[in-house]
Amino acid sequence: MPVLWLILIVLALAVAGFIAGRARAISGAGDDRRALHSLPNYYGWNVAMKAMVPAFLALVIWLIAQPFIVNTKATSLLPETAIPEGSTLGLVMSDVRRVADGLDLAVEQGLLGASEAADLTVTGSDIRATLGSAGVAVGSEISPEILAAAQSYRSSNATGNLLRSLVVIGLALVGGALALAQTKPDFRARNAVERGIRAILVGAASLAILTTIGIVLSLVFNTIEFFRIYPASEFFGSFTWSPSFGGGSQLGIWPLLWGTLYISLIALLVSVPIGLFAAVYLSEYAGPKFRSVAKPALELLAGIPTIVYGLFALLTVGPLLLSVFGRDGLGWMQAGTAVMTAGLVMGIMLIPFVSSLSDDIINAVPQSLRDGSYGLGATKSETIKQVILPAALPGIVGAILLAASRAIGETMIVVLGAGAAARLSLNPFDAMTTVTAKIVSQLTGDADFASPEALVAFALGMTLFVMTLGLNVFALYIVRKYREQYD
Amino acid sequence: MYDSPLRKTEVDTNESKISARDVQVYYGDTHAIKDVNVEILDKTVTAFIGPSGCGKSTFLRTLNRMNDTIDICRVEGLIELDGEDIYDKRVDPVQLRAKVGMVFQKPNPFPKSIYDNVAYGPKIHGLAKNKAELDEIVEKALRRGAIWDEVKDRLDAPGTGLSGGQQQRLCIARAVATEPEVLLMDEPCSALDPIATSQVEELIDELRANYSVVIVTHSMQQAARVSQKTAFFHLGNLVEYGDTSQIFTNPVDPRTESYITGRIG
């Protein structure tokens, strides 16, 4: 039975359970809903929930587990000899799956009877031709072992699917029936539903956390793998970055880290003053009319995809800088792609971050502090400088740190604006590159995932992750400390 | 009516400090203050009483142009401080507020140290030549705020860490430190307990020696205890204004009588 049908059946059972539970509760109370512990709908929800949730949970687990089990079973049927020279188990297994799927398709299209398909032998018929006419192309001639494995694959999948349907529908029925049996006027359905809702919320929260843990673990394992084939002392100690896929590459992180920090620094030098001043103007000076237009307009900057910023850097800012600082001007700049180009554009990108967060924080400073300062005869700018900004400072620092971690993680602007040369230089008009840009270049293309040149991407990613995580934790700590001040 | 009379002296001056003529205040289309005429005397505590929303706080805020910070607020009529129109175009509201200090309903110490809270006004207005003089001003203000003994050992501690009553006295000390001529107090005791209230009330009576004090209060007992002059506001009108003793014992207007006896408001 297809999964969609299964879902629909369980949903239908839940709806039926809802109606039955509600009706049973009302009739149990003698048509007097005041005698019920909870509102009638809660009894309905209780039954629907208990029918639906275990069934769907079982379905999800089954969908994840079944392919594993079926694969293992089919693999165990394949002897060593079934794997030809120069091939791998994975390739043979994909053949097995193609044959199995092809047979299923052939049965569906009526090219083969169900029993005929189950009794196929390699010698008896031309399986390749049959599968070909069903629209499935199989590369090599099918060996008896592969056919046997495919047949096992088919049959265990079929049993699995049947069992799955039985278990899921069974769970829905049993759960619904148990809940229905619970449904008496004094049953605390409201509390039961409340617990269920809490469980759903907890599940959502833990899913997000588990995903993060999963991402971190995949980074960690690959990083460990990298350090096994490339010495960590070289990675953190070398000042040269010259990967060559032929081997003998030097993979020092410092040129990349320097590029990242240099570009981020320029970006922050651009975005922090402009963003902060914009926030002060918007929150303290601007009239409500101007504010209602200007604030969304500024936040629009945050909605521009970074690749568009990258194009802006490549096509507009780079040539502009080159015409001033390049060979025709001051002669400091060789090409349009440079730290300065990427830093300026990234700074523009970060302005709305800084201004929007700072604006919220400045607005959170209580009006009573402003009144107190004005009441002492302070001017607006004195009030802002000496009362509002000091009060908002921890929050503003938090905003700046969040912007910094955004700058460190930025990729597209760097790829298009800063060039690709990994070098240690102090000249902001030199082309440099960053950690993120190099991760992209190491993993795109036909990289062999076992080589240090590809695996280094994970070590770079891990370094970046630790840096931004540290910054974020620090920022959150500061923001939280600030919040306590007015409670 | 006077359950604990604080007042030692009757009105000892008849010099007018602030005089208001036909003052109208509008919030957008709402006419919040109607035709208010009042003479506020020097070295006198004047109490504004009246039910919530009667406009007494609004009127108080027009006296040092705090309402300028509200966009939709409009003031008409004439308000003079020592004979000068404070709404004249040449008057700098910032200078005016240095002369007419204000203490608010909720204690609002700045998130700075106790010392810096008090030194804030003197620093802005350049009242001290050097650090020693500033120290002196701060100590004097804290003493007049009747909080010196409690905080003298922790002037570097944050002002926000004090208790509510201490915070309010700190705010009063902060207002006093800029040497204003008039002190406006908007329900300064509404967030305080009885003990802190009585401390602040004593303080107000002491401040009278140097300043003209205007206090908005919801407590009629408080008005009776601390003030020499009382103004009763109702629905944006100044209903009655006179000596506190007269207002509370022998009010002229029937609305005043109804309010102070608790029948309206």
What is the structure's pLDDT at B2? Answer: 47
The answer to whether the CB of B36 falls within 8 A of the CB of B234 is no
SS3 A463: helix
Q: CA-nearest residue of chain A to B60? A: A375
Q: State both tokens at A473.
A: 């934790």
Indicate whether A290 and A376 sit together in one domain: yes
SS3 B41: strand
pLDDT over 80 at B7, yes or no: no
Give the distance from residue A362's alpha carbon to the nearest chain B alpha carbon, in angstroms: 14
Number of domain units in chain B: 1
Q: What is the DSSP string of A1-59?
A: --HHHHHHHHHHHHHHHHHHHHHHHHHHTTT-GGGSSS-HHHHHHHHHHHHHHHHHHHH
The answer to whether the CB of A13 falls within 8 A of the CB of A172 is yes
Amino acid at the residue B114: I
Q: Which of B111, B125, B178 lies closest to A390 in CB terms?
A: B111
- Alpha carbons within 13 A on the beta-carbon side of B76: 9
Q: State both tokens at B217.
A: 């209060």
What is the structure's pLDDT at B116? Answer: 92
Q: CA-nearest residue of chain B to A366? A: B108
Indicate whether A180 and A247 sit together in one domain: no
SS3 A486: helix
Number of domain units in chain A: 2
Is B121 within 8 Å of A391 when comparing Cβ atoms? no
Element holding B38 (H helix, E strand)? strand B30-41
Q: Which of B95, B101, B104 lies closest to A368 in CB terms?
A: B104
Q: Which residue has the tokens 């619904």?
A: A176
pLDDT over 70 at A446, yes or no: no
Which of A156, A171, A187 marks a domain boundary? A187
Provide, as residue numbers in chain A, all residues whose Cβ is less than 8 Å from the Cβ of B96: 377
The answer to whether the CB of B205 falls within 8 A of the CB of B120 is no
Interface residue of B64, B97, B103, B112 to substitute, partner A, most A CBs within 10 Å: B97
The answer to whether the CB of A152 falls within 8 A of the CB of A77 is yes
Give the distance from residue B12's alpha carbon to the nearest chain A alpha carbon, in angstroms: 28
Angle at B184 (CA atoms; ends B178, B187), nearest 5 degrees: 125
pLDDT digits (tens, 9 = 90+) for A390-414: 888 888 888 898 899 889 988 888 8
Q: Nearest CA to A464 among A406, A418, A416?
A: A406
pLDDT over 90 at A12, yes or no: yes
Amino acid at the residue B237: N
Q: Nearest CA to A486 among A394, A391, A393, A346?
A: A391
What is the structure's pLDDT at B265? Answer: 57
Give the distance from residue B94's alpha carbon to the nearest chain A alpha carbon, in angstroms: 5
Is B112 within 8 Å of A390 when comparing Cβ atoms? yes
Indicate whether A74 and A137 sit together in one domain: yes
More confident residue, A13 or B262: A13
CB neighbour burial string for A56-93, b if at least 16 within 10 angstroms, e if fewer: bebbeebeeebeeebeebbbebbeeebbeeeeeeeebb
Domain annotation covers residue B142: no
Q: CA-nearest residue of chain B to A369? A: B108
Strand partners, A242: A250
Q: CA-nearest residue of chain A to B168? A: A372
What is the structure's pLDDT at B134? Answer: 94
Domain annotation covers residue A388: yes
Indicate whether A302 and A397 sit together in one domain: yes
Is B174 within 8 Å of A376 when comparing Cβ atoms? yes
Q: Which residue has the tokens 């449904």?
A: A183
Give the distance from residue A355's alpha carbon to the nearest chain B alpha carbon, in angstroms: 22
Query: Once rounded to an integer, what is the mean pLDDT over residues B47-73?
Result: 88
CB of B95 within 8 Å of a chain A CB? The answer is yes
Is A377 within 8 Å of B71 when comparing Cβ atoms? no
pLDDT over 70 at A122, yes or no: no
Is B160 within 8 Å of A485 when comparing Cβ atoms? yes
CA B85 → CA A409, B66, B76, B91, B180, distances in Å? 60, 15, 12, 8, 17
- What is the Cα–Cα distance from B225 to B13, expressed in whole angstroms? 19
- What is the Cα–Cα distance from A468 to B118, expressed in whole angstroms? 41
Is B120 within 8 Å of A386 when comparing Cβ atoms? yes
Which of A187, A211, A244 marks a domain boundary? A187
- What is the Cα–Cα distance from A126 to A141, expressed in whole angstroms? 10
Q: Which of A288, A382, A485 lies closest to B111 in CB terms?
A: A485
Domain annotation covers residue B222: yes
- What is the Cα–Cα distance from A243 to A249, expressed in whole angstroms? 4
Residues 6+ positions from A425 with CB-CB distance below 8 Å: A432
CA A64 → CA A59, A60, A67, A405, B45, distances in Å? 9, 6, 7, 36, 81
Query: Once rounded to an integer, what is the mean pLDDT over residues A356-370?
Result: 89
CA A423 → CA A239, A255, A419, B229, distances in Å? 9, 5, 11, 80
pLDDT over 70 at A482, yes or no: no
Query: Once rounded to an integer, what is the mean pLDDT over residues B43-53?
Result: 90
CB of B91 within 8 Å of a chain A CB? The answer is no
Is B108 within 8 Å of A378 when comparing Cβ atoms? no
Query: Once rounded to an integer, what is the mean pLDDT over residues A30-36?
Result: 83
Indicate whether A21 and A168 sit together in one domain: yes
Helix locations, B100-193, DSSP H? 114-124, 131-144, 148-151, 164-177
- What is the Cα–Cα distance from A82 to A133, expressed in whole angstroms? 26
Q: Which residue has the tokens 């910054």?
A: A471
Query: Once rounded to an integer, what is the mean pLDDT over residues A414-443?
Result: 85
Domain annotation covers residue A161: yes
Count contacts between A and B (CB, < 8 Å): 73
Which of A130, A161, A187 marks a domain boundary? A187
Q: Which of A374, A377, A387 lies closest to B110 in CB terms?
A: A387
What is the structure's pLDDT at B194? Answer: 86
Is A375 within 8 Å of B102 when comparing Cβ atoms? yes
Provide, as residue numbers in chain B, all residues whose Cβ is less than 8 Å from the Cβ of A387: 110, 120
Cα four-point dihedral sign B102, B103, B108, B109? positive
What is the structure's pLDDT at A17? Answer: 93
Provide, as residue numbers in chain A, all residues whose Cβ is less than 8 Å from the Cβ of B66: 371, 374-375
The answer to whether the CB of A321 falls within 8 A of the CB of A332 is no
Band the pLDDT of B138: cuts 50, 70, 90.
very high
Provide, as residue numbers in chain A, all residues whose Cβ is less than 8 Å from the Cβ of B95: 377
SS3 A177: helix
pLDDT over 80 at A70, yes or no: yes
Strand partners, A343: none
SS (H, E, C) A64-120: HHHHHHHHHHHHHHCCHHHCCCCCCHHHHHHHHHHHHHHHHHHHHCCCCCHHHHHCC
Is B124 within 8 Å of A366 when comparing Cβ atoms? no
Q: State both tokens at B150.
A: 């409690």
Q: Give the other-Cβ count within 10 Å of A204's Cβ.
A: 9
Band the pLDDT of A487: cuts 50, 70, 90.
very low
Q: Nearest CA to B110 among B175, B194, B154?
A: B175
Phi/psi at B78 (5° precision) = -125, 125
Indicate whether A24 and A170 sit together in one domain: yes
The CATH number assigned to the domain holding B246 equals 3.40.50.300
- What is the Cα–Cα distance from A41 to A370, expressed in whole angstroms? 51
The answer to whether the CB of A475 falls within 8 A of the CB of A353 is no
Is A372 within 8 Å of B171 when comparing Cβ atoms? yes
Give the distance from residue A423's alpha carbon to the nearest chain B alpha carbon, in angstroms: 46
pLDDT digits (tens, 9 = 90+) for A135-179: 777 666 677 777 888 888 888 888 888 999 999 999 999 999 999
Amino acid at the residue B167: Q
What is the structure's pLDDT at A1? Answer: 67
Q: CA-nearest residue of chain A to B123? A: A378
- What is the Cα–Cα distance from B173 to B141, expressed in whole angstroms? 5
Provide, as residue numbers in chain A, all residues whose Cβ is less than 8 Å from the Cβ of B110: 369, 372-373, 386-387, 390-391
Domain annotation covers residue A359: yes
Is B64 within 8 Å of A375 when comparing Cβ atoms? yes
Band the pLDDT of B1: cuts 50, 70, 90.
very low
Would you give the distance in Å from CA A60 to the centre of its chain? 20
Band the pLDDT of A204: cuts 50, 70, 90.
very high
Domain that holds residue A148: 3-187
The bridge status of strand B30-41 relative to strand B16-27 is: antiparallel
Provide, as residue numbers in chain B, all residues whose Cβ is less than 8 Å from the Cβ of A287: 71
**Which positions in chain A have a beta carbon within 8 angstroms of at least one beta carbon in chain B?**
287-288, 366, 368-379, 382, 386-387, 390-391, 485
Angle at B240 (CA atoms; ends B236, B242), nearest 5 degrees: 135
Q: Give the other-Cβ count within 10 Å of A271's Cβ.
A: 28
Q: CA-nearest residue of chain B to A393? A: B111
Q: CA-nearest residue of chain A to B109? A: A369
- What is the Cα–Cα distance from A441 to A436, expressed in whole angstroms? 9
Domain annotation covers residue A138: yes
The CATH number assigned to the domain holding A369 equals 1.10.3720.10
pLDDT digits (tens, 9 = 90+) for A209-246: 999 999 999 999 989 988 888 888 888 888 888 887 66
Give the distance from residue A29's alpha carbon to the nearest chain B alpha carbon, in angstroms: 51
What is the structure's pLDDT at A18? Answer: 93
pLDDT over 50 at B20, yes or no: yes
Domain annotation covers residue A196: no
pLDDT over 50 at A255, yes or no: yes
- What is the Cα–Cα distance from A35 to A55, expressed in whole angstroms? 32
Indicate whether A144 and A278 sit together in one domain: no
Strand partners, A241: A251
Domain annotation covers residue B22: yes
Domain that holds residue B105: 16-109+184-260
Domain annotation covers residue B153: no
Is B110 within 8 Å of A288 when comparing Cβ atoms? no
Q: Nearest CA to A13 among A40, A53, A42?
A: A53
Q: State both tokens at A464.
A: 């970046």
Angle at B18 (CA atoms; ends B16, B23), nearest 5 degrees: 130
Indicate whether A258 and A165 sit together in one domain: no
Indicate whether A148 and A260 sit together in one domain: no
Q: CA-nearest residue of chain B to A389? A: B111
Q: State both tokens at B27.
A: 């919030």
Is A372 within 8 Å of B174 when comparing Cβ atoms? yes
pLDDT digits (tens, 9 = 90+) for A308-362: 999 999 899 988 888 888 877 777 777 778 889 999 999 999 999 899 889 988 9
pLDDT over 90 at A485, yes or no: no
Residue B262 exposed, middle or buried by CB count within 10 Å (0-12, 13-18, 19+) = exposed
Band the pLDDT of A86: cuts 50, 70, 90.
low
Residues 6+ positions from B55 with CB-CB distance below 8 Å: B25, B32, B33, B233, B235, B236
- What is the Cα–Cα distance from A16 to A377, expressed in whole angstroms? 71
Give the distance from residue A376's alpha carbon to the nearest chain B alpha carbon, in angstroms: 5
